[in-house]
Amino acid sequence: MVFAADSMLGRLARWLRVMGHDVLFQSGYDIGDLRRFSSEGRIVLSRKKSLMGEDIRLIFIRSDKVREQLIEVDSVTGLRKCATEWFSRCIECNYLLEKADPEGWGEGIPEYVFYNMRGKIRRCPACGRFFWPGSHRKRMEEQLKKWGF
């Protein structure tokens, strides 16, 4: 399932990325962009009622709370409940994370992580951020479970 999230849905976009979904997001798309995304197979997520008459693949999001928004998307598409797919994507850039090349390690990774998380460190090819299973990720996992995912 691939999406394009309209402005006002930044938090939803990030949580969908946490769950491993491909979600384009920027503040403000014009209708031409949305038509193009739709023709490319993306589902447009928007809170704009005015889009409801347009000929695009649209999920009109009613709630302004992120948990309810996720449930709205889930009720139409069926989101990934599978935790193995979670955390496979950069939350900022939407790129799939890659196994970190040992040559590129060093700056940006604390020493204890370097030694304890070998083989579990991933890197975003776009922004260069490193990701590894840690307390931040655990908190997000717990949040998703609490929300019923």
Please report, as ranges, the residues that interact with Zn ion according to CB under 5 A.
90, 92-93, 124, 126-127
Smallest distance, Å, CB 94 to Zn ion? Answer: 8
Report the candidate in 5, 84, 92, 91 with the shortest Cα–Cα distance to residue 44. Answer: 5
Smallest distance, Å, CB 149 to Zn ion? Answer: 23
Q: How far apart are CA 20 and CA 87, in angstroms?
A: 6
Smallest distance, Å, CB 106 to Zn ion? Answer: 18
* Residue number, 12 or 90, with CB nearest to Zn ion: 90
* Residue number, 19 or 34, with CB nearest to Zn ion: 19
Smallest distance, Å, CB 54 to Zn ion? Answer: 31
For 8, 100, 128, the CA distances from 108, given in Å and listed in that order, are 31, 12, 9
* Residue number, 85 or 142, with CB nearest to Zn ion: 85
* Residue number, 67 or 129, with CB nearest to Zn ion: 129
Long-range contacts of 138-144 (CB under 8 A, 24+ apart): 140/18, 140/87, 141/83, 141/86, 144/15, 144/18, 144/19, 144/86
3 state DSSP class of 27: coil
